[in-house]
Amino acid sequence: MSQEHSDAVATLLGPAEVRELAARLDVTPTKKLGQNFVHDPNTVRKIVRLAGVTEHDEVIEIGPGLGSLTLGLTEVGASVTAIEIDPRLAAQLPQTQAQMQPNAKLRVVLSDALDLDRSHLEGQPAPTVLVANLPYNVSVPILMHLLELIPELQSGLVMVQAEVGYRIAAGPGSKEYGSPSAKAAWYGDWSIAGTVSRKIFWPIPGVDSVLVGFAKHAEPIGTEAERATTFALVNAAFAGRRKMIRQSLQAAIPGSTTESVSELVQRAGLDPQARAESLSISDYLRITRVLV
């Protein structure tokens, strides 16, 4: 057995360890919490490599579950803050870590990621990298919450349902482009970093998964106040995505009319007859800047 193989057995969770841990905790994975656990150390190492995580990184992980990905992150020496909603899993993880990687730098926070606030992150350097196998039914709200809450994040790699991943990484004009794509683009550049087989999960999910990576823009494209207004415009535009923006945007601009919105959009250098999916986040920001 090679050294690498014996290390893999010792420090990461394979199928036997995942089953054994779940049985010991009496955990039956639930759909409601998106509990599909990775039981393939090779995939874990691939994710960590693609995320570019090193011993110098402060990583935040959402939904560590039994610890499959967490142990891959701590294996390379990164400091990890892991946010888990399931109390049984959150309680077990430090014990798994103590047994398998006693020197790992890991902090487990029992919380719904959507309720995470800065107080949960106090007492240590802010995370700069996000790596997670996200619970699929809430992956977009969790991503948006974290990007807003932690401006220190510089990059990340998340595993999400394929359909969602392609939406997040989509650009204007493509059929997948929607409000998550436009909002995600506020924070950085997103791309599909890879696909993963359904077989690496237990239980096997009913949907395909992809890895989506992001790199933060070197400079924020706008201020926080501008972001709030721009996101309201994006929401209104996509809520009425079949309409022209001179109509759909009225929902976000109190007291406006088709004529006043047309005038505003023209002042921003855009076509009032355009539809939501043809505008980039910078276009929405241009409308904001004329508006405020």
Point out which residues bind ligand SAM (CB under 6 A): 33-38, 62-65, 68-69, 83-86, 89, 112-114, 133, 135, 138
DSSP 38: E
Instruction: Select 116 or 265, whichever has its Cβ closest to ligand SAM.
Output: 116
Instruction: Select 142 or 265, whichever has its Cβ closest to ligand SAM.
Output: 142
Beta bridge partners of 60: 81, 130
Instruction: Select 51 or 236, whichever has its Cβ closest to ligand SAM.
Output: 51
HEC per residue, 56-91: CCEEEEECCCCCHHHHHHHHCCCEEEEEECCHHHHH
Angle CA 79–187–147, to nearest 5: 45
Of 241, 243, 269, 277, nearest in space to 258 by CA: 243
Residue sitting closest to ligand SAM (CB) = 63
Instruction: Select 90 or 245, whichever has its Cβ closest to ligand SAM.
Output: 90
Amino acid identity for residue 244 in this structure: M
Instruction: Select 138 or 287, whichever has its Cβ closest to ligand SAM.
Output: 138
Task: Write down the least CB distance from residue 69 to ligand SAM, Å.
Answer: 4
Task: Write down the least CB distance from residue 285 to ligand SAM, Å.
Answer: 30
Task: Write down the least CB distance from residue 112 to ligand SAM, Å.
Answer: 4
Amino acid identity for residue 84 in this structure: E
Task: Write down the least CB distance from residue 238 to ligand SAM, Å.
Answer: 24
Task: Write down the least CB distance from residue 183 to ligand SAM, Å.
Answer: 19
Distance CA 172, CA 155 (A): 22
Q: Dihedral sign for Cα 129, 50, 170, 262, please.
A: positive
Burial class (CB in 10 A: 0-12, 13-18, 19+), 232: middle
57: Cα within 13 Å, side-chain hemisphere: 25
Task: Write down the least CB distance from residue 98 to ligand SAM, Å.
Answer: 18
Helices then strands, counting H and E runs in the chain, come out as: 12, 9
Instruction: Select 68 or 74, whichever has its Cβ closest to ligand SAM.
Output: 68
Instruction: Select 74 or 250, whichever has its Cβ closest to ligand SAM.
Output: 74
